[in-house]
Amino acid sequence: MPEDKKPPGRLLIIGGAEDRCCGAGLLQRFVELCGGEAARIVLITTASDAPDEVLAEYERVFRKLGVDHLSELRLHGRSDADSDDFADLLSTATGVFISGGDQSKLRTLVGSRINDIIADRLSDGLVVAGTSAGATAMGRTMILGGTGPEVAAAAVRTGPGLGFVPETLIDMHFGERGRLPRLLSGVAMAPEHLGIGLDENTGVLVEDGGFEVLGTGVATVVDAEDATVVHPAGEYDPITLFGVRLHLLPHGCRFDFRTRAPAIGPAHDRY
């Protein structure tokens, strides 16, 4: 690669509850991708109900991992997200990390100037990570809520996402909170979307038209592109769903967005 060319931007999408104690794992991988000790990370705490606590926690972890340049981007409304005040901060960042919390609060970012700047900078080598609420916001559509054991329209609520991963629907805390019915419901409502469910302390590194699974859990992929979907009259009635493809991908496995095919990757360290 010529010296004046930066690698394309990469996304690290984490299912929540990532290891923040041992100085290793997914956050260490994020720091390495951002440039190690030269990393300049912007932490977006918009989703959090306790941004001061979130900032202190990630400051502690990132400092431990050798990061000297950590800035917080705290937005109080759409006017902040559309302002020029944070453009300089984002223009010099090598990484952006979107914290967890309430993903409905991230709607203030969707379609904003900050959303556009981050999207533009992805082609300039920026690394963007999101955990929990910050993970589901990465897709063109994000899951806003929904519970229950049934596969039905009422089991999931969605809205526009940040659009960094087109035609995907991402769910988090997946195995721990039994969210397969919710993801199936979301994909049944939009079969062109690929569903990705991420366990805790588990992430996918998105680059080169696909992703690699990292961490200690499993990435569940739901593909209904060729499925038969029959929607009932009522939103609480079960959806008929035939021919759905389901893949369980532990650490090291890969998935190609273009062919919608999983593969077992080469053996290496867990992160």
Among the listed residues 112, 185, 200, 212, the single catalytic one is: 200
Whole-model pTM: value is: 0.95
**What is the tens place of the pLDDT at every residue in 175-215?**
999 999 999 999 999 999 999 999 999 999 999 999 999 99
- How many CB atoms sit inside 10 A of residue 235's CB? 11
What's the pLDDT band for 88 if we cut at 50, 70, 90? confident
Among the listed residues 132, 185, 212, 251, the single catalytic one is: 132
Task: Assess whether pLDDT exceeds 90 at residue 49.
Answer: yes
Task: Assess whether pLDDT exceeds 50 at residue 4.
Answer: no
- How many CB atoms sit inside 10 A of residue 52's CB? 11
Work out whether strand 202-207 and strand 228-230 pair parallel, antiparallel, or are unpaired.
Answer: unpaired
Let me know: does 185 contact 149? Beta carbons within 8 Å: no
What pairs with residue 223 in β-bridges? 194, 245
Does residue 235 have an active-site annotation?
A: no
Which two structure tokens, joined as six digits, stand for 259? 């062919």
Task: In whole angstroms, give the CA distance from residue 62 to residue 35.
Answer: 12
Q: How far is residue 89 from each of residues 17, 18, 269, measured CA to CA in Å?
A: 27, 26, 34
Rounded to the nearest angstrom, the gap between the alpha carbon of residue 122 and the centroid of all alpha carbons in its chain is 14
Does residue 173 have an active-site annotation?
A: yes
Q: What is the mean pLDDT of residues 89-118?
A: 96
Does residue 132 have an active-site annotation?
A: yes
**What is the tens place of the pLDDT at every residue in 201-255?**
999 999 999 999 999 999 999 999 999 999 999 999 999 999 999 999 999 999 9
Nearest to 137 by CA among 176, 109, 175, 117: 109
What pairs with residue 51 in β-bridges? none
Task: In whole angstroms, give the CA distance from residue 42 to residue 30.
Answer: 12
Task: In whole angstroms, give the CA distance from residue 102 to residue 118.
Answer: 20
Among the listed residues 173, 185, 193, 212, the single catalytic one is: 173
**What is the tens place of the pLDDT at every residue in 54-63?**
999 999 999 9
Task: In whole angstroms, give the CA distance from residue 152 to residue 229.
Answer: 11
The contacts of residue 112 (CB under 8 Å, 6+ apart) are: 78, 81, 82
Give percent above pLDDT 90 in the chain.
Answer: 89
Q: Where are the domains of the chain?
A: 10-252
What pairs with residue 71 in β-bridges? 42
CATH code of domain 10-252? 3.40.50.880
Task: In whole angstroms, give the CA distance from residue 213 to residue 25.
Answer: 12
Phi-psi region of 265 (alpha: psi -120 to 50; beta: other; left: phi over 0): beta
Task: Assess whether pLDDT exceeds 70 at residue 24.
Answer: no
Q: What is the mean pLDDT of residues 61-73?
A: 95
Query: Residue 265 corresponds to which amino acid?
Result: G
